[in-house]
Amino acid sequence: MARQTWTEGRLLQDKTIVVTGCASGIGWETAKLVKALGGDVIGVDINRTEDHVDELYIADLSDRMAIKALVNALPSGIDGIANIAGLPPTAPADMVLKVNLVGLKFFTNAMIGRLNDGASIVNLASLAGFGWEESIPAIKASETLAFEDVEDFIKTHNVGNEVGRSYFFSKEAVVAWTIQNRWTWRDRGIRMNAVSPAAVDTPILKDFLATLGPRGEEGIRLTERPGRPEEIAPVVAFLMSDMTHWIRGTNIPVDGGMASHFLAQRHQL
């Protein structure tokens, strides 16, 4: 692959980035920042927005046929996919797994042929995925999970809605999938990374707090406040840029220090 460097101009000049979940919260903010940095935004959401998108595709990312139709409709020549659409732990467990995990993977895999060489894929995971190493058997079992098998999977692997388990598992599996794909499309210079925020002040913050109860409140107390969407979007934008071709398969916490806090506690540092 030709050597790519960034020397001048705006960070995402001439890049076309697909942003899922562009109608609200972190996706909305990411679309806004991509535009501000010179990129074109192809927005995807189940809800409509007029903001910060050059083209908008309304699609339900929990539905295989809808994703197939979306992929057929999207243009080629895409430089990045920001997989940001997601449901909170208060949504039904099957929907959480379909949107946050199965749909994300299905959409991404179907889009590889539409991507330019050197493209960047960023998965919005979560601090909720921090404990992924403790879920390896279920994560491995979910590798080829199909939409129609999600309900059985939830029962077999005990990843229903109790204390937000479906949400936590969806994010654990996304972190693991990102790591797994560190080199999958390396011959085309396509890289995949994840970004993992702790609680962020978006419309679904209340859903997290309702699920986590005192644990959620304690997290916010430790980090002094929830994060803001405008503190997450720059990390996604940076990963989309030509400055990051050697960042592969990694998971970047943007969490006010929470992931480090867990590690420091675990190892008594």
Ligand X SMILES: NC(=O)c1ccc[n+]([C@@H]2O[C@H](COP(=O)([O-])OP(=O)(O)OC[C@H]3O[C@@H](n4cnc5c(N)ncnc54)[C@H](O)[C@@H]3O)[C@@H](O)[C@H]2O)c1
Main-chain dihedrals φ then ψ at residue 194, nearest 5 degrees: -125, 155
Position among 81, 101, 121, 199 found at the interface with ligand X (CB under 6 A): 199
Position among 12, 15, 19, 27 found at the interface with ligand X (CB under 6 A): 27
Touching ligand X, residues 47-86 (CB under 6 A): 47, 60-62, 84-86
Q: Is the dihedral of CA 166, 250, 86, 61 positive or negative?
A: negative
- Please identify, using beta-carbon distances, which residue of 102 and 115 lies nearer to ligand X: 102
Decide: is 223 part of the binding site for ligand X (CB under 6 A).
no
Number of alpha carbons in the 13 Å side-chain half-sphere of residue 212: 20
Decide: is 31 part of the binding site for ligand X (CB under 6 A).
no
- Please identify, using beta-carbon distances, which residue of 109 and 156 lies nearer to ligand X: 109
Position among 80, 197, 219, 253 found at the interface with ligand X (CB under 6 A): 197
Decide: is 126 part of the binding site for ligand X (CB under 6 A).
yes
Interhelix angle 214-222/205-212, rounded to 10 degrees, is: 120
Q: Which H helix or E strand runs over 172?
A: helix 165-180
Encoding tokens for residue 174?
């996304």
Alpha carbon separation from 194 to 9, 56, 176, 183, 225 (Å, rounded): 26, 24, 10, 14, 22
The nearest distance, CB 75 to ligand X, in angstroms, is 19
Touching ligand X, residues 135-174 (CB under 6 A): none
The nearest distance, CB 248 to ligand X, in angstroms, is 21
Position among 18, 19, 25, 107 found at the interface with ligand X (CB under 6 A): 25
HEC secondary structure over 212-265: HCHHHHHHHHHCCCCECHHHHHHHHHHHHCHHHCCCCCCEEEECCCHHHHHHHH
Decide: is 108 part of the binding site for ligand X (CB under 6 A).
no
CA distance 95 to 62: 7
- Please identify, using beta-carbon distances, which residue of 16 and 202 lies nearer to ligand X: 202
Decide: is 204 part of the binding site for ligand X (CB under 6 A).
yes
For ligand X, the binding residues (CB under 6 A) are: 21, 23-27, 45-47, 60-62, 84-87, 99-100, 124, 126, 197, 199-200, 202-205, 208
